[in-house]
């Protein structure tokens, strides 16, 4: 007999209210920065931040106080994370709507989802016409979204107990790094400290490299988050070749494993060189860049230095899922498009701010497949999947298999739905892969620059759904649709 699950809705709303308050305070950070950069129309940010904070306080107060015996269960944790994200997405639309930079609600939601999921797709064809406050908000929203899922969990962990930790276990982050426990919260806080410090370093280096202060701040936010929003219509091609190489370096870091970076900076620098995933990541970037640059020189007649720069930049941008652009890669020969498409699916390292399937998952799949083939030859042998010398638990392997299956099925369904609104095959798979991998640029439509202003409204909502489930890594959202979730 079906017994409905008793969920402490007040507890769920109380923490969603807290998320809105914190989100509104982050939004308010744009106010002094906008004033610093001489924005005379910051009232939209002020009003938006005020409404968000007040709404969050109202929801929190209406939900009442937490009782001593109120413990958030696993299921309540999933509800908090999913609907908390939805709440901040709609709050993120307010600066666009109040500033009149966007008049259509669907476009505002699209821009907010793209920003907070660190995707980089946009409805703004002329970003240079936007006020400094709105440009800052776009960039800051990506910075929050880059580590957004982790940020939400960390804001809840002090009271989530095992519920919050099990939500976190859906992320591949825990495969080779520290397991959830007493020191787990401290570890995540270290990640956020390093994430912040790297952002500051990136802004300073960009400034020294030739960007003005405003561009340096905005692009530091969108580089470390692997977001891809730019303050210029020509994206990164606006800047000098020397600066483009600097951006490549920081995109590569943003696509690396942040827990590994923290470990290298605080304890064992040698851990960087021992990481199999990081070596795979480095090899893919170098090898694919070499192939593409060779083809551009030998087949398409590019100058060597131009071919190397554009190939290295676009490969790093796609595999890290940053989505920056310096070249119109749609002018490259079709086989090179296919390579970029596969980079969309591969994605960045586990524990990074990037999207995609993630290199760690694919390493596990390859090793598990290899073991299966070995078992055909030696049926009685037992082979384990080892990553960095550690045996991967069979439950994690099942989790990885399920994740990859859901990812590819979601991609296929997304491509089909996009094709129904009139997109050709190349555009449909490009848009779906770009959205679900949180990248931005496509293959056919919209071209190399990720401007989706002319995409039909239905297509924008499909992309919003794909960006959302891709950022939350599927399980957190899909589990809500299983009847068993709502049973006792």
What are the structure tokens assigned to 484, written together?
A: 């068993």
> What is the pLDDT confidence band of residue 412, given thresholds at 50, 70 and 90?
very high
pLDDT at 157: 45
Decide if pLDDT at 225 tops 90.
yes
Q: Dihedral of CA 105/107/112/114: which sign?
A: positive
pLDDT at 113: 97
pLDDT in tens, 127-180: 999 999 999 999 999 999 887 655 555 544 455 444 445 445 444 344 444 554
User: What predicted TM-score, i.e. pTM, was given to this entire model?
Assistant: 0.90
């Amino acid at each position: 007999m079906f017994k409905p699950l008793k969920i402490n809705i007040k507890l769920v709303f109380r923490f969603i209210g807290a998320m809105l308050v914190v989100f509104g305070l982050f939004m308010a950070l744009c106010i002094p920065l906008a004033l610093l950069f001489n924005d005379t129309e910051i009232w939209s940010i002020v009003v938006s931040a005020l409404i968000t904070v007040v709404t969050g306080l109202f929801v929190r107060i209406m939900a009442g106080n937490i009782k001593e015996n109120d413990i958030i269960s696993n299921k309540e944790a999933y509800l908090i994370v999913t609907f908390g994200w939805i709440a901040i997405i709609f709050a993120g639309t307010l600066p666009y709507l109040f500033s009149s930079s966007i008049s259509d609600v669907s476009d505002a939601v699209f821009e907010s989802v793209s920003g907070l999921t660190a995707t980089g797709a946009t409805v703004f064809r002329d970003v240079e016409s936007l006020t400094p406050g709105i440009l800052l908000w776009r960039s800051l929203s990506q910075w929050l979204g880059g580590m957004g899922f982790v940020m939400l969990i960390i804001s809840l962990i002090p009271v989530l107990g095992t519920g919050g930790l099990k939500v976190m276990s859906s992320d591949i982050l825990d495969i080779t790094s520290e397991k959830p426990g007493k020191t787990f919260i401290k570890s995540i806080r270290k990640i956020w400290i390093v994430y912040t410090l790297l952002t500051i370093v990136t802004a300073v280096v960009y400034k020294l490299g030739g960007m003005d202060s405003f561009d340096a701040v905005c692009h530091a936010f969108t580089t470390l988050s692997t977001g891809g929003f730019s303050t210029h219509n020509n994206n990164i091609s606006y800047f000098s070749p020397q600066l483009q190489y600097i951006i490549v370096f920081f995109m590569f870091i943003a696509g690396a494993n942040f827990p590994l970076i923290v470990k290298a900076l605080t304890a064992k620098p040698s851990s960087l060189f021992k990481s199999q995933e990081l070596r795979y990541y480095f090899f893919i970037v170098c090898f694919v860049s070499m192939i593409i640059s060779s083809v551009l020189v030998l087949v398409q007649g590019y100058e060597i230095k131009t071919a190397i720069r554009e190939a290295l930049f676009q490969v790093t941008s796609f595999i890290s899922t940053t989505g920056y652009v310096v070249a119109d890669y749609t002018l490259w020969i079709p086989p090179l498009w296919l390579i970029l498409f596969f980079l969309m699916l591969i994605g960045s390292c586990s524990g990074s701010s990037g999207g995609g399937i993630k290199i760690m998952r694919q390493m596990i799949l390859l090793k598990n497949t290899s073991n299966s083939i070995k078992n055909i030859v030696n049926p009685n042998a037992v082979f384990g999947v080892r990553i960095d010398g550690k045996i991967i638990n069979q439950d994690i392997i099942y989790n990885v298999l399920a994740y990859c299956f859901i990812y590819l099925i979601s991609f296929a369904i997304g491509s089909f739905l996009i094709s129904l609104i009139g997109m050709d095959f190349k555009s449909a798979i490009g848009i779906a892969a770009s959205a679900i991998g949180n990248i931005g640029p496509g293959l056919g439509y919209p071209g190399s620059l990720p401007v989706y202003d002319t995409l039909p409204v239905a297509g924008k909502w499909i992309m919003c759904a794909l960006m959302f489930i891709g950022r939350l890594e599927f399980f957190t959202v899909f589990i809500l649709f299983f009847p068993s979730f709502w049973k006792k």
